[in-house]
């Protein structure tokens, strides 16, 4: 049983991702950032689109829904909490829901904060998660609709996934995130090493993603807001995890 995954650039800094079950032919697009980029990727792979999985309502994640559905007849699955804002949605899913995609079970995690209904998808058998704009490599999405506490709880949920889970995210913001992360933890050796790696990849115009939960646990200051060394670095040893997260998020917003 094999789930093939194809990541490709879309729009200016989004990533498109196609997943394909070789046994059943199921092919899903994670979000729908740019119709032409997605169609090109499908053609290149020789895959026929059967599903779209939306993570949240933002236009750069849903703009291809209607056109791709019209052209392919694909089914569109997306967040319960944002159904009214997502075009052409067929199935609404929320926390704890599980559905079958090809031969794989997909678990739904609600990860609100960036938007109020944002969801992430986890496929345990393939050890892969699609987290949209909740978490980025060494970063996280802006907290547009929720609160800092809500976003922290969402990151804490992702923290709890198996460490070897591959994580696909919505945007290539890694290099700027690494630079910011170093202002929070200048002495974090794993972070320094990863920042150098990322500079080398971007220097060759290569993607820095997917990431893994293990890498984020070691280098992502937002995900590490609960760690004593991060609290100490910010002079907030006794603050709640979400407050430390909020301080880091505020600094990044103002950077």
Selected catalytic residue, list 20, 58, 118, 148: 58
Which residue number, 51 or 58, has a Cβ lying nearer to Zn ion?
A: 58
Answer yes or no: are the C-beta atoms of 89 and 76 closer than 8 Å: yes
Does residue 58 have an active-site annotation?
Answer: yes
Which residue number, 56 or 194, has a Cβ lying nearer to Zn ion?
A: 56
State the residue number with the nearest CB to Zn ion: 58
Answer yes or no: are the C-beta atoms of 134 and 159 closer than 8 Å: no
Q: Does 31 bind Zn ion (CB under 5 A)?
A: no
Does residue 13 have an active-site annotation?
Answer: no
CB of 133 vs Zn ion, minimal distance in Å: 4
Q: How far is it, in rounded angstroms, from Cα 32 to Cα 15? A: 10
Answer yes or no: are the C-beta atoms of 234 and 241 closer than 8 Å: no
Segment contacting Zn ion (CB under 5 A): 5-13, 98-106, 128-136, 209-217?
A: 128-136
Does residue 91 have an active-site annotation?
Answer: no
DSSP string, 51-66: EEE-----HHHHTTHH
DSSP string, 159-197: HTS-TT-EEE-SB--HHHHHHHHHHH-TT-HHHHHHHHH
Number of residues counted as binding Zn ion (CB under 5 A)? 2
Beta strand pairing call for 51-53 and 27-30:
parallel
CB of 199 vs Zn ion, minimal distance in Å: 26
Q: Does 58 bind Zn ion (CB under 5 A)?
A: yes
Residues forming contacts to Zn ion in the complex (CB under 5 A) are 58, 133
**Which amino acids are annotated catalytic?**
56, 58, 60-61, 114, 133, 171
């Amino acid at each position: 049983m094999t789930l093939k995954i194809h990541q490709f650039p879309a729009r200016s800094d989004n990533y498109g991702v196609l997943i394909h079950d070789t046994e059943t032919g199921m092919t899903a697009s994670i979000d729908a950032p740019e119709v032409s980029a997605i169609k090109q990727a499908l053609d290149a792979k020789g895959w026929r689109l059967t599903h779209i999985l939306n993570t949240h309502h933002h236009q750069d994640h849903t703009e291809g829904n209607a056109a791709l559905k019209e052209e392919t007849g694909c089914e569109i699955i997306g967040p319960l909490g944002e159904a009214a804002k997502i075009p052409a949605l067929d199935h609404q899913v929320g926390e704890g829901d599980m559905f079958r995609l090809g031969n794989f079970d997909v678990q739904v995690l609600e990860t609100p904060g960036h938007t109020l209904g944002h969801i992430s998808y986890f496929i345990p058998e393939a050890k892969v998660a699609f987290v949209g704009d909740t978490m980025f490599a060494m970063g996280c999405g802006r907290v547009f609709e929720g609160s800092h506490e809500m976003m922290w709880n969402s990151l804490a949920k992702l923290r709890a996934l198996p460490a070897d889970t591959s994580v696909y995210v919505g945007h290539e913001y890694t290099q700027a995130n690494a630079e910011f992360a170093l202002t929070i933890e200048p002495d974090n050796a794993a972070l320094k090493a990863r920042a150098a790696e990322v500079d080398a990849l971007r220097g060759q115009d290569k993607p820095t993603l997917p990431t893994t939960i293990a890498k984020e646990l070691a280098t992502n200051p937002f995900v590490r807001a609960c760690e004593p060394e991060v609290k100490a670095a910010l002079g907030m040893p006794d603050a709640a995890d979400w407050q430390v997260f909020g301080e880091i998020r505020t600094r990044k917003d103002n950077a």
